[in-house]
Amino acid sequence: MPAPRFQVYRARDEIQPPHENLAIFFIHGKSAPGKVPLTLEEAMARRQVQVRETGNVNQLEIENLGNEEVFIQSGDIVKGGQQDRTLMVSLELPPKSVRVPIAASCGEQGRWSPRER
């Protein structure tokens, strides 16, 4: 049986009107010099990153197979596998990394099997 495939879901950047005492402001500035790492979404689209189940709902493993750094942002959502998950930490994966454990939070209560196709 082939390993379950994961996908990345990222909400679009939307500016919403203030809600009670909450407002969101985007801060922009000049980029730092140097190469910009790939996002998880970009790396997965290029098949340069693999996300694997560990058997623990609160942990996944991630591996960078490519030649570029990959930035994982806390809050990235990976869909597929046994369950959809939200990644809980931000980190940079170096090129050709080993498998790295990454904390994840359950995105679907009750499901613990691959999606039906």
**Neighbouring-strand partners of residue 15:** none
State the pLDDT at residue 111. 59
State the pLDDT at residue 83. 84
pTM of this structure: 0.68
Length of the chain in terms of residues written: 117
Q: Could you give the CA distance from residue 91 to residue 110 in angstroms, rounded to a whole number?
A: 28
- What is the mean pLDDT for each group of 10 consecutive residues in the chain (117 residues)? 53 56 72 88 95 91 96 91 89 95 82 60
State the pLDDT at residue 60. 94
State the pLDDT at residue 24. 67
State the pLDDT at residue 81. 81
Signed CA dihedral, 2, 97, 87, 23: sign only: negative
State the pLDDT at residue 18. 59
